[in-house]
Amino acid sequence: MTARKAGTFALIPVRAASMDLTACDLRVLVAIARHADKDGRANPSLSSIASSTGVSRRHVSRSIASLEKVGLMSHRQQKGPGGAWTHSVYEILFTSGQQIASEPKQRQDEGHTVAVEMLRIWREECGAVLAAPRALDRSRTTACEARFRDSFDQDFERWRALCREVKASSFCYGGGCRGWKADFDWVLKPKSIRNLSEGKDRDGRSAGRRAVNSGAVGFENYDLLPLGPGGT
C-alpha cells in the first residue's frame, strides 16, 4: 500500500507483522504512517495520533518508545523558524538497521541544548539554596531530553513552573526532620515530577513564602503531561 496525502493508505514495514507488538503499538504505527510522505517521514502531534487511534497520549508515547526500540521507526525533536522546539519528526524504518545519517549527531546536539537551558532555569529559580550539577553528563542530558519531551510538552515554562513548585516547598529546601534537600537529579525523576505536580511535597504557604514567589507563574496553570518514552 502507498501513503497518500489524505491519509487513506499507510505504508508500513512488512516485518512488523512478525513482531510482538501490542494492538496499541500497531495502531500508533499505522496512524503515523498515514501522515508520512513517500520517504516515510511524518510529523503528527501526539494529540492527533491519540485522536485518530483512540489511544491515550500516555500510551501513544509508550508505543512510540516501543516502536523505536524494535527498530520500526525513529523520532526526533524539531525546531521551528524562531528556534523554539515545536514538534516531533517521525521516520518509518522499512529495512532493518535503517538510519538517518545525520540523526545521531543532530539529536545529541539538540538534547544538550535542552539540558543546558533546563539547568540554567534550575540555577535561576533554585540555585541560591539547592545544589546544581557542575557538568551535564550523558545520563543527565538524556534525562533532561526525555522529561522535556514527555513531562513538559517541550515547554520550558512548564519546567520553570516545576522549579517554582520546588521553591515553594520547605520540605524540598531542607525543612524535613533529616534536613534533606532536593537537587537537580532528584527533580528529573518521574516519581518526583508526579509528586510535585500533585502537590504532595507542598506545605502550607505562609505569607512570607508567597512573597518570595510573587510574580511566579502558578504551577497549577501548567498541568504536566503523562510520562512517555524514557519514563522510568
- Write down which residue in 61, 83, 100 finishes a domain: 100
Residue 101, pLDDT > 80, answer no
Q: What is the CATH number for 47?
A: 1.10.10.10
Residue at grid coordinates 515547554: 155
Cβ neighbours, 10 Å, residue 22: 12
Output the nine-digit C-alpha cell for 11.
Answer: 505504508
In the three-class reduction of DSSP (H, G, I as helix; E, B as strand; rest coil), residue 169 is classed as: coil
**Are 37 and 143 within one domain?**
no
60 close to 49: Cβ distance less than 8 angstroms: yes
The whole-model pTM stands at 0.46
CA 83-146-48 angle, 5° bins: 70
Amino acid at 165: E
Q: Is the pLDDT of residue 109 over 80?
A: no
Residue-wise pLDDT tens digits, 145-154: 889 988 998 8
pLDDT tens, 52-93?
A: 999 998 899 899 989 988 999 888 877 655 555 567 889 999
Whether residues 46 and 111 fall in one domain: no
The CA distance from 144 to 112, in Å, is: 9
**Average pLDDT in the 157-175 region?**
91
pLDDT at residue 23, rounded to an integer? 94
Is residue 4, in this structure, part of any structural domain at all? no
d(C-alpha 140, C-alpha 135), whole Å: 9
Residue 193 in grid coordinates: 515530577
- Asked if residue 2 is part of any domain, the answer here is no
User: Which is higher by pLDDT, 226 or 153?
Assistant: 153
- Look up the domain containing 180 and give its range: 104-221
CA torsion, points 129, 135, 164, 172, in degrees to nearest 10?
-50
Q: What is the predicted pLDDT for the residue at 50?
A: 92
Q: Verify that 56 and 155 share a domain, yes or no.
A: no
Domain boundary among 82, 100, 118: 100
